[in-house]
Structure 1
């Protein structure tokens, strides 16, 4: 049975190391051929908006725009419905391939057979 890694990023520029760690782990797993689903919640929701990941800088971290590209190519990227609504981010505002979905979908993905969820 194939395993799935579900990673929830709960921070953005407000906690850059935590944000970068979440994307680094998710992108590394995706590049290794693991099925990955990245959830952007809280301030990390902004990374789904074009140009925002390019603005993120953290010394000694891979560029988040590159990590996000890997995840959009090799995995799935979702923005939390409530988090998007609080920031007035709509489907029309996000990068191609990013979906907006709610807690029920997160729970379904996290609880699926073979799934491992990590929250940063």
Structure 2
């Protein structure tokens, strides 16, 4: 079975779109990075290294230092699918990230986005 196209896309090719989406709504790159740190456990230096290496999404999530256990609290619809019902683990991780960035762009407070 062929891998989903997004798995082989470089994370660094999508990252600028996350930032643009946030900035269009008055949010910042730093907030996007904070979400990524919270979700994956990457430090800023580690995140920048992954971006420089242009790793694909599969590698990005496989090499994540510590996926946040609170990520399972992320609920809702993204791309027409409920994130909590996605069965493929990697796709669910990607959609968790998409959902968090979407919440940021919609003006949700960081404390709520990070499930504090």
Does TM, normalized by the shorter one, top 0.5? no
Normalization by structure 2: what TM-score?
A: 0.31
Higher helix share: 2
